Chain A
Amino acid sequence: MSLLYGMITGILFGILLQRAHVLRYDKQVGALRIMDMTIVKFMLSAIVVASIGIYCFKDLGLIDLSMKGTSIGAQVVGGGLFGIGWGLLGYCPGTAAGALGEGRFDGFWGILGMLCGGALYAALYPLMETHIISVGKYGKIGLPQITGVNHWIIILLLALGSVFLFRFFEKKHL
């Protein structure tokens, strides 16, 4: 059942990504070059709506959230490497797959590279664990825990910030 859900969810997500034209090198690198913010509009809209939905479900007791642990070392180094790789490839892991589905064959080379990157990470994992992941470990914390304010205030700020940014994008035709 879980496999079927995965397939159906993936198909629907793939349709949305394709129809919003975000599976394109030109759009992804366009956002990194601050020339075309289509993917930022897509991502932030998804994050705001999903945050509201997920925290509604949580407050209703329908789901439990299990947060990922924070490690400053892993997230700064990992995020930096991800940014370099994303800029070179022009797709993130999920969109590389979608780009291939849309006929963008460079996504295939990206996927091959990702398989090698995954194998390399697995091989170097013990080294990463000792030297990078162990740096600045804070456990399972989120913005509501750090700031001590209700999660709905964070979500409201996130939504307001997004709307403000969207208005700026539209005004500048980005």
Chain B
Amino acid sequence: MRKTSWNPYLSGALAGILLALSVLVGGHFFGASTTFPRVASVIEQAVGIDTSKVVYFTTKDGKYGPSSLPNWQLLFVVGIIAGAFAASTLSGDFKLQVVPDMWRERFGPSRLKRAVIAFLGGAVALFGARLAGG
């Protein structure tokens, strides 16, 4: 694998084939956002919070609660990390970077500033994704 990227149309089409096959073989559509409240419920349980009192974690037979893990989607998310790590290492793309280039140009090199905004952005995005059901 060379450092140049793959054609986005071709890579996207391959991802589409992968998605269709995933639906056919295992009945699973691609998704990641539901994994976050599920993992949060496991963490809450681990620190002694009674998750059975949280309606969301018990609704739909505990579909979003701690007992839902491990499941297909958690492994899918872990797989994405592993696949991206393998592909970036083999292609020479892997690079530790805390502040993205475009961010640095506009907002400067502060790691703290980037970390705070990334954290907040993640929290808002995930809240929105769960609300919208995506």
A interface list, Cβ under 8 A from B: 1-26, 29-30, 38-39, 41-54, 56-57, 62-63, 68-69, 71, 74-75, 77-90, 92-94, 96-107, 109-123, 125-126, 128, 132-133, 166
Set B9, B84, B129: member contacting A99, Cβ < 8 A: B84
Residue of A whose beta carbon sits closest to that of B16 = A49
Whether the Cβ atoms of B76 and A53 lie closer than 8 Å is: no
Closest residue of chain A to B131 (Cβ to Cβ) is A78
Known: A42-B15, A45-B9, A46-B15. A11 touches B123 (CB 8 A): no
CB pair A88–B121 under 8 Å, yes or no, is yes
In the complex, A62→B132 CA distance in Å? 28
Residue A93 contacts which of B7, B64, B129 (CB distance < 8 angstroms)?
B129
Give 29 CB contacts A-B under 8 Å.
A2-B28, A9-B79, A10-B83, A14-B84, A18-B91, A38-B8, A46-B16, A57-B24, A69-B133, A75-B132, A84-B125, A84-B128, A85-B121, A90-B121, A92-B32, A93-B35, A94-B31, A101-B88, A106-B118, A110-B119, A111-B36, A112-B122, A113-B118, A114-B36, A118-B127, A122-B57, A125-B55, A125-B59, A126-B55
* Interchain nearest-CB distance for B109 vs A (Å): 13
| Docked pose: A88 CA to B55 CA in angstroms | 29
* B122 lies within 8 A of A113 (CB): yes
A38 closest partner in B (C-beta): B8
Residues of A within 8 A of B12 (CB): 16, 20, 41-46, 49
* Residue numbers in A under 8 Å from B62 (CB-CB): none
Output the least CB separation between B31 and chain A (Å): 8
Identify A92's interface contact among B41, B119, B125, CB under 8 A: B125
Chain B residue with minimal CB distance to A69?
A: B133
- Whether B79 lies near A79 (C-beta < 8 A) is no
Partner of B80, one of A2, A68, A101: A101
Question: What 10 additional pairs, Cβ within 8 angstroms, besides A20-B11, A53-B17, A106-B100?
Answer: A10-B83, A11-B79, A14-B87, A29-B102, A42-B12, A81-B128, A99-B84, A111-B36, A118-B36, A121-B56
**Do the beta carbons of A79 and B128 come within 8 Å of each other?**
yes
Contact of B128 among A23, A29, A83 (CB under 8 A): A83
| Complex Cα spacing A9 to B67, Å | 23
Q: A25-B102, A84-B128, A106-B114 are in contact. Are A118 and B40 (CB under 8 A)?
A: yes
How many Å from the CB of B83 to the closest CB on chain A?
2
Known: A77-B131, A82-B128. A115 touches B93 (CB 8 A): no
Which 3 residue pairs of A and B lie closest in terms of their CB atoms, listed nearest first?
A10-B79, A14-B83, A85-B125
Considering the chains assembled together, what is the distance between the CA atoms of A87 and B49 in angstroms? 32
Which of A23, A57, A109, A123 meets B115, CB within 8 Å? A109
